[in-house]
Amino acid sequence: MALTIEDKAGIIRTMDQYAHSYKNKDIETLSAIFSQNISGFGSGPDEIIRTHDDFIQHIKRDMTQATIHSVEFTDRRIFGDGMIAWVTSQSTMTYTVDGSTTQTIHGRSTMVLRNTGNGFIIEQIHFSLPCGEQSNGQSFPNSSIS
């Protein structure tokens, strides 16, 4: 069974809740829209999520280190079977650290979501940043094109 228009709207709603809650440091909502079995990766070398508690600890750390001005998921590609959905998106976050100049990072996100019957929750997440040492057209960092 393919995703319905309503399913896709529910998935977008969950992603928008994530963005809004992250920006507003709303741990309670973030906790509710992420599965108790959440797993995934963030962009930092130590950002490995194996449990819901890991996820909450990483989110709390993020929130103490920066003021988030916006989180946006764009160019979303949503697929699934009605019960499970998988999404890829471009992810843009604007933030400041200790009142510094506003910065923006452009990353990529993948998510796996599960339909609970009352909406979709995030079961798996991966956020990454393109490798700065890897140029367009290169498959590996620091490689030369012949």
Please count the structural domains in the chain.
1
pLDDT of 146 reads 52
- CATH number, domain containing residue 83: 3.10.450.50
> From CA 134, how far away is CA 146, in angstroms rounded?
15
Residue 9: per-residue pLDDT: 97
Token pair, residue 95, equals 């933030």
Residue 65's pLDDT is what? 94
Q: Which amino acid is at 96?
A: T
- Domain for residue 146, yes or no? no
What pLDDT is attached to residue 1?
72
Per-residue pLDDT at 135 exceeds 90: no
Tell the residue number behind the tokens 């963030």, with chain if given.
42
Question: Does residue 137 fall inside a structural domain?
Answer: no
Q: Is residue 44 part of a domain?
A: yes
- Residue 141 inside a domain? The answer is no
> CA-to-CA distance for 113 and 14, rounded, in angstroms?
9
Query: Is the predicted pLDDT of residue 144 greater than 90, yes or no?
Result: no
Task: Supply the range of the domain harboring residue 17.
Answer: 5-128
The predicted structure's pLDDT at residue 141: 74
pLDDT level of residue 91 (50, 70, 90 thresholds): very high
- Predicted TM-score (pTM) of this structure: 0.90
pLDDT-derived band at 21 (thresholds 50, 70, 90) equals very high
* Mean per-residue pLDDT of the chain: 93
- 138 part of a folded domain: no
125 CB-contact burial (10 Å; exposed 0-12 / middle 13-18 / buried 19+): buried
Confidence label for 143 from pLDDT (cuts 50, 70 and 90): low
Residue 45: strand, helix, or coil = coil
Average pLDDT of 34-60?
95
For residue 104, is pLDDT > 90? yes
The span from the CA of 129 to the CA of 90, in Å, is 10
In this prediction, residue 35 carries a pLDDT of: 98
Look at residue 143 and tell me if it is in a domain. no
- Calculate mean pLDDT across residues 89-111: 95
- Residues 6+ positions from 74 with CB-CB distance below 8 Å: 89, 90, 91, 92
CA angle 52, 44, 56 (to 5 degrees): 20
Q: Is residue 33 part of a domain?
A: yes
Q: ∠ CA 130-133-136 to the nearest 5 degrees?
A: 65
User: Is 118 within the bounds of a domain?
Assistant: yes
